[in-house]
Amino acid sequence: MKKIKWIVLLGILVLLFGYKFSDGNREINISNEKSKDTSHITIEKEHVYYGNLLLVGLDNPVQDIGVQRDVIYLSGHPDYIQEYQLLDPAIMLSEMVAERFSAMVNAAKKDHVNHFMINSGFRSFEEQNQLYEEMGPAYALPAGFSEHNLGLALDIGSTLNKMEDAEEGKWLEKNSWKYGFILRYPKDKTAITGIQYEPWHFRYVGLPHSAIMFKKNYTLEQYLDYVKKKKSFSLRYEGKKYYISYYDFKGKPSIKAAVSRNYEISGDNKSGIIVTGVE
């Protein structure tokens, strides 16, 4: 009887104060605490279609505003490509994502995993259309309906083996979330994503979102549903406090949103905005 009482008490404490999970020295505590240092800003509806958390697919095409403005040719930035190879010197990517990818492969090198290659990055609508015409719908998506049109997605390979068997692929599945990346189309989530398993396709969503998605085994679709349902929550990760809030426009041209001193805004490419504050 005492054991049952303690279990019930523990459940109540979890509901009241949130819960935590850890990865070695990395610990994440999720709660409903709200930031005490906030102001309010006006967000226009066009922001629904811009940001790191955009859901892209046949039902949610990329809008012009959603294309990253900092796309660069990786071959023109030797500092970024010292620890991996490019399949093609014309491969492009968001510079912000390139910086995070470089940090990630440098971390992998410390674990003696160092045979990475980028096979594909950003594609213009014209390039996506050409690929679709050449490969067909079984292997490519129409122009505007691929994550590659954002500048946030990349196809990563190994110079030694297929990604499903390579140490590079295994390392990324376990560690990419620490650098803001997710395996976008996992083997056990095809019914949710609508896309076949692609062990090479990774997407940048940023921290702390990638950490939550990894720990909860969520796809981007599931995570956006989770945020929309929660509306507002906070978490502590690596000494930082994050506040995440969801706002639904519901036909409004603009909304007032509470933000902390440092914040990021991303749309979901449907009807909502996710505001992520950090202290």
Q: Where do the domains of the chain lie?
A: 19-53+205-279, 62-204
CA distance 153 to 105: 16
User: What's the CATH architecture for 19-53+205-279?
Assistant: 2-Layer Sandwich (3.30)
User: What's the CATH architecture for 62-204?
Assistant: 2-Layer Sandwich (3.30)
* pLDDT for residue 251: 87
Determine which one of 33, 198, 264, 279 is catalytic: 198
SS3 276: strand
Q: How many CB atoms lie within 10 A of CB 79?
A: 8
Cβ density class 99-133: b for 16+ within 10 Å, e for less: bbbbebbebbeeeebbbbbbbbbbbebebbeebbe
33 is a catalytic site residue: no
Cβ density class 146-163: b for 16+ within 10 Å, e for less: bbbbbbbbbbbbbeeeeb
* Residues forming beta bridges with residue 60, ordered by sequence position: 57
Q: pTM of the predicted model, to two decimals?
A: 0.89
Q: Is the pLDDT of residue 274 over 70?
A: yes
* pLDDT for residue 10: 41
Q: Which two tokens stand for residue 38?
A: 């906030």
* pLDDT for residue 139: 83
